[in-house]
Structure 1
């Protein structure tokens, strides 16, 4: 009996978690739709070749591979942006109009550094065909709007620009391994190690100082952009900072500036992104709940020229961050229909009529116990000599199904 009780309790917990997750995903889908994004799908199994030559995107060692009955190597979908981009690029070498899509799909990756599930759910948006500051700002405003929908009290969206760092490190002429190590130091904001690392590479002092400033370029957007302009400047770096400034101006007009910080040390996935990058952080959650950025060059790999920007929400992180804000909704039951045996036929057919009107209905034989247990809005009782509907402290009498349906459409709807 003890084991059975444990199983029952676990089932209740899983059911509650599922309902909370379902409610969260519904909120995301609704918000994405209000910005004009249409839902899209991609296959669960994809050709391995789709990802094999994609550098700077998915870690090939993390992909979960299988072989079909023809000997072809497939992978369980490790990424969503790449197959969506392929779908768009296969039909359009360029776009004459904007395309907006959203998805709620599972991705599959083998995380060697972590134990647990290899499957996770992502909900995200992809905006193709527009490379303007207004498009970038729309995505960030949508991300903030989404967090607000979930009643998250404390969150920040950090914005960086991959192009700014890329232009600066071009001046260094580093070997690939040295560049990788430098990125790791900057991403970790390991300031004490950056100077000695650059010294070992004989980087000139003015350029070394500029690189060491990168992790410190964090904070209020206009202030950070102004500081960045003074550390080192070439024309392309100035253009990237101007682009960032233009985006922030649009975001101010959206009225979301209070949630924004600029972090020019945000350089993750540098090979994937070509413009702004951003991450959404929720208080007390130890990883980003949302990640995105501009990837104008990805379609090049499918022989198309299509600018794009997108973001993806980590559903598990969102669930952790909203655990206090989203409560498991009780199953919405409109009618609890109780009947004695002689009215069973009429009761079941009445329940069918109500369900045809999209009401939720539970039916069961009348007992003292189920008279006391009720989570519905209305209780219908069919006894030998009386048929009635109860709502709070009110009672409505009816004689047959037709009269009940008239009540449903009128007095107590």
Structure 2
């Protein structure tokens, strides 16, 4: 067993200095977008009762969760996602708070089957939840916030595909397929498996125009023209209302000035048990999976005891970082502006100078080795530190420019630019 003590388990990893610096900066940029849009951050426990994730008709498959027991024998899990815990929180701790509720979060989640394609079993999600309002404006604001979060990360080449699950549900009601067959159809269309969809349609007595529309679902993506093209078919009220809802959301996003990031995908049919209206996914180059996903889930909060419509999204921090790396988009790396060393008679002054420079926004490291100047300068070179400040006493300071191999003597006032 001792051989494993120097390793991490499969699917989790240490986040080293440079990557951690980029990750924290990215999280802070996204957090600023959320806060500036009026979303308030909450933090739910990493450990939850298993029962909480059974509340939504098995939306979170039990085999994907890390499970263990407490001392009373109750089943606990490492949270596989954060929307469900926030739904629990909204229905309990915030049940008497006036709507809308506007929550945001950034935290780690755990999924046993996320390994592969760059995903890990432990990964960081950021997202927002807008609860208590069912309107196209609410859906559009959540999508706009998702777009602004991705833009803040540094990505510009990305696309948000938007669908409406009630359009698909309406079609399936017309076909007369059973619940099991509808779910099979959903999976095939979501995969855009044209041949399998055609085989399933052929085995049922579906009217010709409807059959034509179902077979074309995997190809129904693009601009508002897609909606126009399907309105020529005889649709039931549910599908018609879904298309109108989608059209309104797209027009609001156009007023936001974000239409260039948006595309319609009527073949997007994420979980029918979970989502109840608008759904969307975000894609970019260099990531084999969606970088974000979300939609309307009006039935989730009531599973915890309070009726409340809701919409939201979650964004994969790790997926964004992978895309930034593969698209060769430069991210700020950690750096030290100056290294301060001192003689004993200049120690008090050194600490004062160090704090003054930090107050000016510089990153300053104190030399704690006590080595000679040549060793200190060599250390500075290896860390990419451009300057070494040597405090000789309470008046005299030597500034060593490592890049130019120059040394000058200055006073404290001159150094601090007073």
Q: Which moved more, 1:275-284 or 1:96-105?
A: 96-105
Identify which range, 371-380 or 310-319, moves more after superposition.
Answer: 371-380
Alpha-carbon distance in 1 for matches of 2:26, 2:356:
32
Structure 1 equivalent of residue 276 of structure 2: 274
Q: Deviations over 1:359-381 (max 9, x none)?
A: 64322345124246365576432
Query: What's the C-alpha RMSD, in Å, of the aligned pairs?
Result: 2.9
Residue 209 of structure 2 aligns to a residue whose secondary structure is helix
Structure 1 counterpart of 2:84: 82
Query: Are residue 125 (structure 1) and residue 134 (structure 2) matched?
Result: no
Q: How many residues align?
A: 394
For residues 384 and 347 of structure 1, what CA distance do their matches in structure 2 show? 9
What are the Cα deviations for residues 330-387 of structure 1, in whole angstroms up to 9, with x where unaligned?
A: 2344x42222344345434654676678764322345124246365576432236961
Look up the match of 2:152.
Answer: 149
SS of residue in 1 equivalent to 2:80: coil
**Is it true that 1:135 corresponds to 2:138 in the alignment?**
yes
Q: Which runs of 5+ in 2 are unaligned?
A: 1-6, 8-12
Distance across 1 between alignment mates of 2:242 and 2:374: 73
Match in the other structure for 1:216: 219
Partner Cα separation in structure 1 for residue 86 and residue 232 of structure 2:
40
* Cα offsets for 1:192-241 (capped at 9, x unmatched): 33233122122232322221122121111x10111121233122221111
Match of 1:256 in 2: 258
Structure 2 CA distance for aligned equivalents of residues 219 and 283 of structure 1: 18
Q: Secondary structure at the match of 2:175?
A: coil
Q: Is the 8 A contact 2:18 2:334 kept in 1?
A: no
SS at 2:33 equivalent: helix
Contact 2:170–2:238 (CA under 8 A) maintained in structure 1: yes
Tell me if the contact between 1:157 and 1:261 (Cα under 8 Å) persists in the aligned partners. yes
| Distance of 2:245 and 2:190 partners within structure 1 | 22
The reply on whether 1:367 has 2:373 as its aligned counterpart is yes
For 1:229 and 1:95, how far apart are their aligned partners in 2?
41
Q: Which residue of 2 aligns with 1:330?
A: 334
Alpha-carbon distance, 1:63 to partner: 1.4
CA–CA distance in 2 between the matches of 1:41 and 1:54? Answer: 21
Aligned pairs for 1:218-257 (under 5 A) are: 218-220=221-223, 222-257=224-259
**What does residue 383 of structure 1 align with?**
392
1:385–1:110: structure 2 CA closer, same or farther, 3 Å change rule? closer
- Relative to structure 1, is the Cα distance of residues 371 and 93 closer, same or farther in structure 2, using a 3 angstrom cutoff? closer
Residues 277 and 296 of structure 2 are in contact (CA less than 8 Å); yes or no, is this contact kept in structure 1? yes
CA distance in 1, matches of 2:145, 2:409: 47
Deviation at 1:394, TM superposition (A): 9.5
Aligned to 1:98: 100
Q: What aligned pairs does 1:263-342 form with structure 2 within 5 A after superposition?
A: 263-323=265-325, 324-333=328-337, 335-342=338-345
Q: Aligned partners of 2:94, 2:26: CA distance in 1, in Å?
A: 34
Residues 384 and 350 (structure 1 numbering): CA distance in 2 closer, same or farther, change over 3 Å?
Answer: closer
- Normalised to the residue count of structure 1, the TM-score between the two structures is 0.86
Distance 1:257 1:355 in 2: 43
CA offsets, 1:254-313, max 9 Å, x none? 111111110010001221111100000001321100000011111121221211111111
Which whole-Å CA distance do the structure 2 matches of 1:41 and 1:106 have between them?
10
The answer on whether the counterparts of 2:174 and 2:236 sit within 8 Å (CA) in structure 1 is no
Match of 2:410 in 1: 397
In the superposition, the TM-score normalised over structure 2's length comes to 0.85
Q: Which residue of 2 aligns with 1:35?
A: 37
